[in-house]
Amino acid sequence: MGVMNRLRENTGVVLWILVFAFGVIWVLQDSGGLDVVGFAGNNIATVNGDDITFEEYSQALDGQLSNYQQQTGDSMPPQMLDQTRERVFDNLVETKLREQEMSRLGLEVSDQEVVEMIQGADPHPIIKLYFGDGSGGVDRALLQNFIENPDARQDWLNIEDYLRQERLREKLDQLVTASVRVSDADVQAEYTRRNRAVDVRFVALRYSTIANDSISFTDRDLRRFYDDNREEFARNRSYTFRYVSVDKNPTAADTAAILDDLEDLKASFAAAADDSTFLTRNGSERPWSDAYFRPDELDDAISEVVFDDPQIGEVIGPVISGSQAHIIKVLDVRAPEETAVRARHILFRAAEGDTEARAEARREANDVLRQIRNGADFAEMAREHSADQSASQGGDLGWFGPGRMVAPFEEAAFGARVGRVVGPVSTQFGFHLIEVTERATQEAQIADFALELRASVATLNAAQERLEDVQYFAIENDDFEAEAARAGLNPTTVQVEDGAAFIPGIGNSGELQSFLSGADVGDVSEVIELNNEFIIGVVEAIQEAGYQPFEEVRSQLEPRVRNQKKAEMLRERLEDALGQTDGFDGLAAAAGEQERTANSLSYTNMVVPTLGRDPKFVGSALGLAAGETSGVIEGANGVYVIHVTEVREAGDVPPAELESLRTQLQTQAQNRVRTQWIAALKDDSEIIDRRRQVLIN
C-alpha cells in the first residue's frame, strides 16, 4: 500500500487535465454533445432500477459537441445531432448494463494492479503518452517527479479510479470474449474461401430474350405469389405525415452583410504580417496554405480575379464562389511548373470499333471545321453540333492541367496555339475540334480568407416564427391545410415507417420519429429543424404494423411474376435440351444458344459474362468439382447450366499472411460476441426511456 498512498498524496492538476484530454472517460467514448434543454436532477432513463441522470446525458452530449466543433470549426448539423442523441443514449444504457454485470460477477481490481498500470513494465497508454521518453518507453524520472509532488491528492484519487475502472472493463471484456478461438484450420478455411477460383463453361437463357408482352398472368397468379412471399411485405407501424417547410438559405441582406464584413477586413488583411494567424483568428473557412496554384487549381470565380492582373500584396474581392465569399491576398507570382490551358471543344461522338460511325463523325467534324475557318462562331457550332454536355456552355471545358483529359486530347490541347482550332482529334469517345482560349503563364501563392454564406440569426428566427404561426393556428382552427395555404406554403406528403433510418425528402430525423411515435391522427408537430430547412406537419393517418395490402404492392409483384413465368418456360426448355445430350457437350446446340466461358470466378469475383454480378452462379460453380456439371439453376437474370473446367485451389496460407488473417478473424469474432452479448443483456433488462418527458418538460 505504500506506493498507492504516495500516488494518492501526490501530483498536480495538470495530469488530470491531460487524462481528460486523452478521452479517458469511457462512458463518453462514443457519445457527444449537443445543446439540450431540461431540468437538472431528472432521470432520463432507468436500467434495471439504476438511473441515468440528466447530468450524465448532458455532459456526454456537451463533450461530443465540443469535439465536433474542435475538428470542424462549426456547430453540429441538426440531423447529425439527432443521430448523436441516439448514440449517446445507447452508450449510456450499455455502460450501465456493463457496470451491473461487473458487480454481479464480483469483478475486482487490486491496488497492485493499478500500480502496475502506472509503474509496471508496460504502463497504461496515458502514462506513455504524457511521460514518454521519445522512444516508446516512459521517462521514469519525470513520472516519479509527478508522483512525489504533494500538491494534488484528489487528482491522483481520480486517476486511480479511472485506471481501476479501465482494468475492470478489460477483465469484463476478456470474460465476454474468452470463448473466441481461431484455429489454424479456421484460418486455412477462410484463406481457401477467399482464394479458391474456378473456370467454367456455361449455357444461359436470359429472361430478357422473352418479350414482356408475350407473358400473360392473372390476378390469381399475382395473389398466389403475394401469399407465398407474404413476409417480404411485412411492415412496421407507419404514418402519413403532411408537412410544409421553409428553407434556411441566406437572404440577399444576409449575403450583403457578409460581403460588407469582408470589405471591412480588407485593410487589416493587407497589413497583416502573418497571414496564417490572420485567417485563424478571424475564422476563415479556408485554411492557410503555402502552395502555389495554377488557374486550373482554383475555383473559376477565384481564378478569374486572381489572374486578371495579379499584384503582390494586393487584396482582391469580395468574390462569391459556390457557397462562400472570399477576399484573396496575392503573396507571390511565378512561372508555372506544369502546363495548364483553358479550352473549348466540339465532340462528334462515335464508339471505338464502329468503323462506319467513326468515318461519319470524322466527315462531320471536318465539315464543321471548314465552317469555323470560314467565320462561323465556335460557341454556336458547339451548341448545335457537340455531343458533349459542355455544348450548352459553347463547348467550354474550363481550365485543366496534366492528367485531366485522355492522352490524345491532352497532347493536342497542350500543343495548340491560343485561338487556333485543331482537329479532328481522335479519342475513344469520337472526334474533337479543340480551341485553346487561354494558356497559363503564371501560378500564384495566395491567402484565401473565406466565409460561408449563411442565413443570419434574424433570418432563421423569422423562418421558424413563420412555421410557429402555422402550428398555432392549425391547432387553434383544426385546419392544417388552410393555415399552410394562408402562409403561402405548399404541403408535401410522406410515408414514415417506425424506426426508418431514412425518410424520403427529409433524411434522418430522430426528432420527427420521436414526435410520430407518440402522436395521434390530427396531431401537429412542433417546428423541427433539419440541416437545410425547418418543417412542421400533421399526422394524417396511422397504419398499424402488419402486411402491405395486395393492391399497394401490385406494381412490384407484376415484374417478379413475369420473371417467374419466364424462368419456368426457360427452365423447361433447358431441361429438355439437357435430356437430349450426354452431359454438357452439345447442350448449347440442343438449346439453340451460344456456349460461353467465365474464368477465375471466386467470392471476390462474382461478375459473369452476359449475366452480370450473380452470387448464386458463383456459389454454385464453387460447389462443383472439376469436370462436374450442374443441373438447371434459376438466377436473377436467367437460367443456366454450369460445367466446371478447372478448379484452382488456394493452397496453404502463406506464413506471412497467417497471423494477419488470424487477427482479422479473431477481431471479427470478438466483435460479433460483444454485439450479441450486449443485445442479450438489453433483451433481458428493464429499460425505461424517459427522455421525451424530461427533455420537453
Confidence of residue 151 (pLDDT cuts 50, 70, 90): confident
Residue 644 has pLDDT above 80, yes or no: yes
Beta-strand relationship, 396-400 and 421-427 = unpaired
pLDDT confidence of residue 495: 92
67 and 138 in a single domain? The answer is yes
pLDDT confidence of residue 570: 95
pLDDT confidence of residue 146: 75
- CA distances (Å), 59 to each of 14, 66, 164, 617, in order? 21, 11, 22, 53
pLDDT confidence of residue 21: 38
Does residue 675 fall inside a structural domain?
A: no
| 194 Cβ neighbours under 8 A, 6+ residues apart | 602, 603, 604, 650
pLDDT confidence of residue 695: 57
Residue 63: count other Cβ atoms within 10 Å of its Cβ.
Answer: 20
Residue 31: count other Cβ atoms within 10 Å of its Cβ.
Answer: 25
Contact 541, 550 (CB under 8 A): no
Q: Which domain holds residue 111?
A: 2-176
pLDDT confidence of residue 467: 96
**Distance in angstroms (rounded) separating the CA atoms of residues 181 and 245:** 54
Name which of 93, 152, 190, 29 is nearest 660 in CA terms.
190
427 and 531 in a single domain? The answer is no
pLDDT tens per residue, range 413-468: 999 999 999 989 999 999 999 999 989 888 999 999 999 999 999 999 999 999 99
612 and 625 in a single domain? The answer is yes
pLDDT confidence of residue 135: 83
Query: Domain boundary at 544, 575, 605, which?
Result: 544
CB burial readout 367-393, b (16+ within 10 A) else e = ebbebbeeeeebbebbbebbebebbee
Tell me how far the alpha carbon of residue 345 is from its chain's centroid.
35
472 and 582 in a single domain? The answer is no
149 and 268 in a single domain? The answer is no
Contact 127, 143 (CB under 8 A): yes
Contact 674, 203 (CB under 8 A): no
Residue 680: count other Cβ atoms within 10 Å of its Cβ.
Answer: 10
535 and 581 in a single domain? The answer is no
Contact 275, 447 (CB under 8 A): yes
Does residue 662 fall inside a structural domain?
A: no
Does residue 661 fall inside a structural domain?
A: no
Cell of 382: 458547339
Cell of 496: 414514415
User: By mean pLDDT, which of 428-432, 519-523, 647-651, 693-697 is the weakest?
Assistant: 693-697
Confidence of residue 149 (pLDDT cuts 50, 70, 90): confident
- 96-100 LR contacts (CB < 8 Å, sep 24+): 96/47, 96/48, 96/50, 96/52, 97/47, 97/48, 97/678, 97/681, 97/682, 97/685, 98/169, 98/172, 99/50, 100/47, 100/48, 100/50
405 and 506 in a single domain? The answer is no
pLDDT tens per residue, range 281-339: 998 988 899 899 998 888 889 998 999 889 999 999 999 998 899 999 999 999 888 88
- Can you name the residues that pair with 502 across neighbouring β-strands? none
Beta-strand relationship, 238-247 and 492-497 = antiparallel
Tell me how far the alpha carbon of residue 696 is from its chain's centroid.
31
CATH code of the domain covering residue 432:
3.10.50.40
Residue 120: count other Cβ atoms within 10 Å of its Cβ.
Answer: 14
Q: What is the DSSP string of 583-630?
A: SSTTHHHHHTS--EEEEEEBTTB-EETTTEE-HHHHHHHHTSPTT-B-
Query: Domain boundary at 648, 666, 685, which?
Result: 648
407 and 281 in a single domain? The answer is yes
Q: Rounded to two decimals, what is the model's pTM?
A: 0.67
Residue 399 has pLDDT above 80, yes or no: yes
Percent of the chain scoring above 90 in pLDDT: 68
487 and 373 in a single domain? The answer is no
Does residue 368 fall inside a structural domain?
A: yes
Q: In what order do the strands lie in the sheet with 50-53?
A: 50-53, 43-47, 687-689
Q: Average pLDDT for residues 269-275, to the nearest whole number?
A: 93
268 and 222 in a single domain? The answer is no
Q: Average pLDDT for residues 231-237, to the nearest whole number?
A: 91
| 184 Cβ neighbours under 8 A, 6+ residues apart | 658
Please report where in the chains the cell 497467417 appears, as a residue. 658
Query: Domain boundary at 648, 663, 691, which?
Result: 648
Residue 118 has pLDDT above 90, yes or no: no
Please report where in the chains the cell 466461358 appears, as a residue. 597
Cell of 218: 392473372
348 and 269 in a single domain? The answer is yes
Contact 102, 168 (CB under 8 A): yes
655 residue type, one letter: P
Residue 474 has pLDDT above 90, yes or no: yes
Beta-strand relationship, 633-634 and 638-648 = antiparallel
**Distance in angstroms (rounded) separating the CA atoms of residues 84 and 311:** 48
Does residue 690 fall inside a structural domain?
A: no
CATH code of the domain covering residue 208:
3.10.50
pLDDT confidence of residue 694: 63
Name which of 605, 626, 624, 628 is nearest 615 in CA terms.
605
Residue 265 has pLDDT above 50, yes or no: yes
More reliable by pLDDT, 197 or 144: 197
209 and 129 in a single domain? The answer is no
Mean pLDDT of the chain: 88
pLDDT confidence of residue 665: 95
* Residue 1 DSSP label: -
| 310 Cβ neighbours under 8 A, 6+ residues apart | 330, 333, 442, 444
**Distance in angstroms (rounded) separating the CA atoms of residues 611 and 623:** 19
Does residue 510 fall inside a structural domain?
A: yes
Cis peptide before 609 (omega within 30 of 0): no
Beta-strand relationship, 197-206 and 638-648 = antiparallel
296 residue type, one letter: D
Does residue 664 fall inside a structural domain?
A: no
Contact 421, 428 (CB under 8 A): no
Q: How many helices (H) and strands (E) does the chain have?
A: 24, 23
Tally the domains of the chain.
4
Does residue 677 fall inside a structural domain?
A: no
Name which of 202, 196, 195 is nearest 611 in CA terms.
202
Name which of 592, 651, 683 is nearest 194 in CA terms.
651
